[in-house]
């Protein structure tokens, strides 16, 4: 390659260095190096040129050469920015104390230059002098409060030292200064992810992906954020492009697997998650994801083996706990409660204890005169399911019961059945009674030695509709909580239920908020708590629902219920907790005998997997209408 020798010959020394650095800034380090090399042959005492050559050496990863060149420049002229370059080169060479000394000289010589403070912060951080490093970064920010890079440097520093929320404040300020800043958008998105706010990061990762459309990592981050927003189709497209560019990232394959799993494409999901595990064989988190889809596919033995391996190789205690809990769920699904309940306790490591309960000791199940605080965890359906054990606890100790506000009215209706031994709390108490201990409702089966499903119900609830309503009264619930990442698989398109609503004499009652225009007429759900919904359900002839709190509620009330269960559904509806009805051989729940379970027979995307189950429901509803006309209703 030829170089512009005429640009060097006869040029002013300072101008040569300036021109060379301009070439370097454009990415042409070779031209910059050749220009400086020729110039220094003729003018070896040009300190600016020596410094510029040190900058070129640093850019090329030649720290030792940069140190030597910067040292020669300083010997000729002790310019502050020469010391900055020397300090940065020493830092890159691993000579952290020497770097700190050089950068300290630069700070003293030019206290108004934020680059010196930035460099000093890097050296101090490497030496473990964290407070001083932070002070230097804040000094740089004070000098240049309108420079995006100053805010981002502090944001990254704070996040590295566990102060992610504080770091997020500074990345937010940086983006206020320049909303389209690519590096700032990327850092802000990563900090949002670490704060558990990945859906909010989607616009930031979108900005990065638009600026770097051929960068596989940028696309993978955008795909992961789209997954968090539940825009699965867009996530799949973006992740496919990322894998087309570079298919060696186990994280990208894993995210693709989760996207496919959320849509119901379990076979493709299994392939993607297996690929992720092959690419990184000892990653416990990847194994956990793969085991999850294997379990949903019914391959429980393979899932169990993978979970055992994940537990053995996991370096993060939370990953070990997740593996144990998931093994517990597999055991519960198969009806092995003796093994399942102890393993299921591992979930406690994954769910932080409410601060107000932290000072209470864990109940050991023993008989006692001091109260036991029983508290809810997870969703409303979980609470309804495990409330069945409160009566047994009340036989061993007085009970303080803390459940979600939406359930308190319903639970108050149960209090008389507990013989005055249970007090329902509206909120945590400012001071717990002396000797009070605590226990999660979900831990009761282990403490009580539960070895099989048990039936329970609530006292008869008065229906506001009475018994004079004409026609067949059918309650419908077609979707779960949208906040659940895999809700799409358990929910269904309400249009599939239109034939049910269209049956002669049918009166449909919605058992969920109706936030969309439905393809059938129905009575909207009344405003109120779960008790109001329970009283509404008590006046119905039948309930058809997907796997939500409604299935538990109608089951414990005893209203004939059909549960439309997804392929690979929850452990409570699996083979270890069901029985065959003696009248027609249908599947029913041992927890709630009034609940008939109709499952998807295959997995898949969209409406197709629900077609057969919904058709079966129509037959049962038609049969129930006929029986109802003869004075009874069974499912």
Q: Is the dihedral of CA 280, 281, 284, 287 positive or negative?
A: positive
Cα distance between residue 3 and residue 127, in whole Å: 42
What pLDDT digit, counting tens, does each position of 51-68 carry? Answer: 999 999 999 999 999 999
- Is there a contact between 461 and 384 (Cβ–Cβ < 8 Å)? no
Q: What span, in angstroms and rounded, lies between the C-alpha atoms of 5 and 25?
A: 20
Asked if residues 449 and 364 have their Cβ atoms less than 8 Å apart, the reply is no
What is the distance between the alpha carbons of residues 427 and 524, in angstroms, rounded to a whole number?
Answer: 30
Domains of the chain by residue range: 5-194, 282-349, 356-448, 472-629
Pairing of strands 578-580, 587-589: antiparallel
What's the CA gap between 414 and 393, in Å, rounded? 14
What is the reported pTM?
A: 0.88
At 142, the pLDDT band (50, 70, 90 cuts) reads very high
Beta strands in 530-613 (DSSP E): 542-546, 561-565, 578-580, 587-589, 595-599
In whole angstroms, what is the distance from residue 442 CA to residue 377 CA? 7
Instruction: List, for residues 586-627, the tens digit of each pLDDT value.
Output: 999 999 999 999 999 999 999 999 999 999 999 999 988 888
633 band by pLDDT with thresholds 50, 70 and 90: very low
The reported pLDDT for the residue numbered 6 is 41
The sign one gets for the Cα dihedral 87, 90, 94, 96 is: negative
pLDDT value of position 13 = 56
Q: How high is the pLDDT of residue 12? A: 62
Residue 157 pLDDT class (50, 70, 90 cuts): very high
Enter the DSSP assignment of 496: G
As its CATH architecture, domain 472-629 has 3-Layer(aba) Sandwich (3.40)
Render pLDDT for 291-332 as a digit per residue (tens, 0 to 9): 999 999 999 999 999 999 999 999 999 999 999 999 999 999
**What's residue 15's pLDDT?**
87
The SS3 assignment for 254 reads: helix
Whether 394 contacts 422, CB under 8 Å: yes
CATH class of 282-349: mainly alpha
pLDDT tens per residue across span 535-591: 999 999 999 999 999 999 999 999 999 999 999 999 999 999 999 999 888 999 999
pLDDT at 10 exceeding the cut of 90? no
Question: What is the percentage of the chain residues whose pLDDT exceeds 70?
Answer: 95
CA distances from 62 to 85, 310, 594 (A): 13, 42, 76
pLDDT, position 384? 97
Say how many residues make up the chain.
635
- Is 569:587 a contact under the CB 8 Å cutoff? no
What CATH architecture applies to the domain 5-194? Alpha Horseshoe (1.25)
Neighbours of 355 (CB within 10 A): 8
Exposed/middle/buried for residue 86 (C-beta within 10 Å: 0-12, 13-18, 19+): buried
Same fold across 5-194 and 282-349: yes
Give me the chain's average pLDDT, please. Answer: 93
Q: What are phi and psi of 59, to 5 degrees?
A: -60, -30
pLDDT score recorded for residue 626: 84
Asked if pLDDT for residue 14 goes beyond 70, the answer is no
Is 50 exceeded by the pLDDT of residue 46? yes
Instruction: Give the pLDDT score at 3.
Output: 44
Considering only residues 441 and 480, tell me which one the structure prediction assigns the higher pLDDT: 441
Q: What pLDDT is stored for residue 75 in this prediction?
A: 95
Q: Which pLDDT score is estimated for 464?
A: 52
Single out the residue of 429, 413, 626, 623 nearest to residue 535, CA to CA: 413
Q: DSSP string spanning 112-177? A: T-HHHHHHHHHHHHHTT-HHHHHHHHHHHHHH-TT-HHHHHHHHHHHHHTT-HHHHHHHHHHHHHH
Confidence band of 4 (pLDDT split at 50, 70, 90): very low
Residue 633 to residue 541: CA distance in whole angstroms: 7
- Judged by phi (left if over 0) then psi (alpha if -120 to 50, else beta), residue 10 lies in left
Q: Assess contact for 559 and 624: CB atoms under 8 A.
A: no
Give CA angle at 179 (177, 185), nearest 5°: 110
Distance CA 387, CA 422 (A): 12
Helix 47-59 vs helix 29-42: crossing angle, to nearest 10? 150
Residue 350 has pLDDT above 90, yes or no: yes
pLDDT band at 484 (very low <50, low <70, confident <90, very high): confident
Whether the per-residue pLDDT at 7 is higher than 70: the answer is no
Distance CA 627, CA 490 (A): 29
The answer to whether 605 and 486 have CB atoms below 8 angstroms apart is no
N-to-C CA span, the chain: 85
The Cα–Cα gap between 280 and 207 comes to: 29
Pairing mode, strands 542-546 and 472-477: parallel
């Amino acid at each position: 390659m030829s170089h512009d020798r005429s640009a060097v010959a006869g040029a002013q020394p300072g101008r040569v260095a300036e021109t060379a650095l301009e070439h370097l800034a454009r990415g042409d380090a070779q031209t910059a190096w050749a220009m400086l090399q020729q110039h220094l042959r003729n003018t070896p005492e040009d300190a600016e040129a020596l410094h510029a050559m040190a900058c070129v050496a640093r850019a090329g990863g030649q720290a030792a050469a940069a140190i030597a060149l910067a040292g020669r420049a300083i010997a000729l002229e002790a310019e502050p920015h020469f010391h900055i370059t020397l300090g940065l080169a020493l830092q890159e060479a691993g000579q952290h104390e020497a770097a700190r000394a050089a950068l300290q000289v630069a700070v003293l010589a030019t206290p108004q230059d934020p680059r010196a403070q930035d460099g000093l912060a890097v050296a101090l951080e490497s030496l473990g002098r964290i407070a001083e490093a932070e002070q230097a970064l804040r000094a740089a920010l004070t000098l240049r409060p309108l420079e995006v890079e100053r805010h981002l440097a502090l944001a990254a520093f704070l996040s590295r030292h566990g102060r992610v929320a504080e770091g997020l404040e500074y990345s937010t300020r940086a983006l206020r200064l320049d909303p389209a800043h690519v590096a700032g958008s990327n850092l802000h998105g990563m900090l949002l992810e670490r704060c558990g706010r990945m859906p909010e990061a989607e616009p930031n990762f979108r900005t990065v992906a638009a600026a770097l459309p051929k960068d596989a990592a940028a696309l993978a981050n955008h795909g992961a954020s789209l997954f968090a927003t539940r825009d699965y189709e867009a996530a799949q497209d973006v992740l496919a492009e990322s894998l087309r560019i570079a298919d060696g990232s186990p994280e990208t394959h894993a995210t693709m697997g989760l996207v496919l799993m959320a849509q119901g494409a379990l076979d493709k999901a299994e392939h993607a998650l297996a690929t992720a595990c092959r690419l990184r064989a000892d990653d416990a988190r990847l194994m956990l994801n793969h085991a999850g889809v294997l379990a949903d596919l019914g391959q429980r033995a393979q899932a169990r083996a993978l979970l055992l391996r994940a537990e053995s190789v996991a370096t993060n205690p939370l990953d070990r706990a997740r593996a144990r809990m998931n093994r517990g769920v597999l055991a519960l699904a198969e009806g092995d409660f003796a093994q399942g309940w102890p393993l299921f306790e591992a979930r406690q490591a994954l769910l932080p204890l409410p601060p107000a309960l932290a000072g209470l000791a864990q109940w050991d199940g023993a008989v006692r005169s001091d109260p036991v605080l029983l508290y809810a965890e997870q969703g409303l359906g979980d609470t309804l399911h495990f409330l069945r054990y409160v009566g047994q606890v009340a036989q061993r100790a007085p009970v303080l019961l803390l459940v979600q506000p939406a359930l308190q009215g319903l639970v108050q209706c149960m209090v008389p059945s507990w013989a005055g031994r249970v007090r329902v709390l509206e909120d945590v108490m400012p001071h717990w009674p002396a000797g009070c201990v605590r226990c999660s409702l979900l831990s009761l089966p282990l403490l009580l030695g539960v070895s099989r499903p048990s039936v329970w119900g609530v006292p008869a609830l008065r229906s506001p509709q009475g018994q004079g309503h004409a026609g067949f009264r059918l309650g419908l619930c077609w979707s779960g909580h949208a906040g659940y990442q895999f809700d799409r698989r358990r929910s269904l398109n309400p249009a599939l239920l239109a034939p049910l609503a269209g049956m002669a004499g049918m009166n449909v009652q919605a058992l969920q908020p109706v936030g969309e225009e439905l393809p059938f007429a129905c009575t909207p759900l009344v405003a109120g708590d779960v008790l109001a919904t329970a009283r509404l359900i008590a006046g119905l002839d039948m309930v058809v629902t997907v796997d939500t709190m409604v299935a538990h509620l109608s089951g414990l009330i005893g209203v004939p219920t059909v549960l439309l269960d997804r392929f690979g559904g929850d452990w409570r509806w699996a083979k270890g907790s069901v029985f065959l009805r003696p009248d027609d051989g249908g599947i029913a729940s041992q927890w709630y005998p009034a609940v008939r379970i109709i499952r998807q027979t295959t997995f898949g995307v969209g409406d197709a997997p629900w077609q057969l189950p919904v058709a079966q429901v129509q037959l049962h509803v038609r049969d129930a209408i006929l029986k109802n006309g003869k004075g009874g209703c069974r499912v």
